[in-house]
Chains A and B, each alone.
Chain A
Amino acid sequence: EIVLTQSPATLSLSPGERATLSCRASQSVSSYLAWYQQKPGQAPRLLIYDASYRATGIPARFSGSGSGTDFTLTISSLEPEDFAVYYCQQRSNWPLVYTFGQGTKLEIK
């Protein structure tokens, strides 16, 4: 089973700064790598799918990159509403399993 490891566990930054979140897979994944944002008491929201495609309505300051085992979510200039927990997620086909990383908490410095 593929394990996704996110780093750092917590990232402390100020509004306007650039955020770089990492997701590393224990073995090469297909292009099925997604990123989600979750705020307290809310459901996760899809940000990025297939490693680099922004979901509908997601601002351009969010971008995803990577392939193979190393993926990155970048927020170019943090807005106050961006402080939340971020999860990466992948899908394996054989057997079909969806796996999430443990999350990165992005907090206000």
Chain B
Amino acid sequence: EVQLLESGGGLAQPGGSLRLSCAASGFSFSSCAMSWVRQAPGKGLEWVSAISGSDDTTYYADSVKGRFTISRDNSKNTLYLQMNSLRAEDTAVYYCAKRGTGGHFDYWGQGILVIVSS
């Protein structure tokens, strides 16, 4: 059974940092592309970042480029999102998601809440 479990969320001050983790199990993590997707309170879904399964190539939405860094540790089956220079508009539930064979996300974590506020 595929499982994705996020951790590391919470309250951060504007300009501060947080690191999210996503522990994966039930599939061959090292060969799968992964993403982070967020959802602001009462809003829709927004893709944040992706990392390939093969060569660790990374991709970012313009809204987070230069502030967020996605990475993975295949020895620990864990995906990370380092979030720096946080802004109020980064407040959201953050989901890690496994990419399917095409351009979709076939499995999602339960989500972790990040609140950026002074």
Contacts and interface: CB of A to CB of B under 8 A. Distances in A.
B103 A98 contact: yes
Contacts of B105: 34, 36, 44, 46, 89
B46 interface: yes
Interface residues of B, number: 21
A97 B109 contact: no
B7 to A, nearest CB: 15
A39 B115 CA distance: 21
Contacts of A49: 100, 102, 104, 106
B59 A89 contact: no
Contacts, number: 66
Contacts of B104: 32, 34, 46, 49-50, 89, 91
A10 interface: no
A30 to B, nearest CB: 7
A50 B100 CA distance: 10
Interface residues of A, number: 27
Contact of B59 (A30, A46, A87, A95): A95
B50 A31 contact: no
A98 B47 contact: yes
Contacts of B35: 98
Interface of A: 30-32, 34, 36, 38, 42-46, 49-50, 55, 87, 89-91, 95-103
Interface of B: 35, 37, 44-47, 50, 59, 61, 95, 100, 102-111
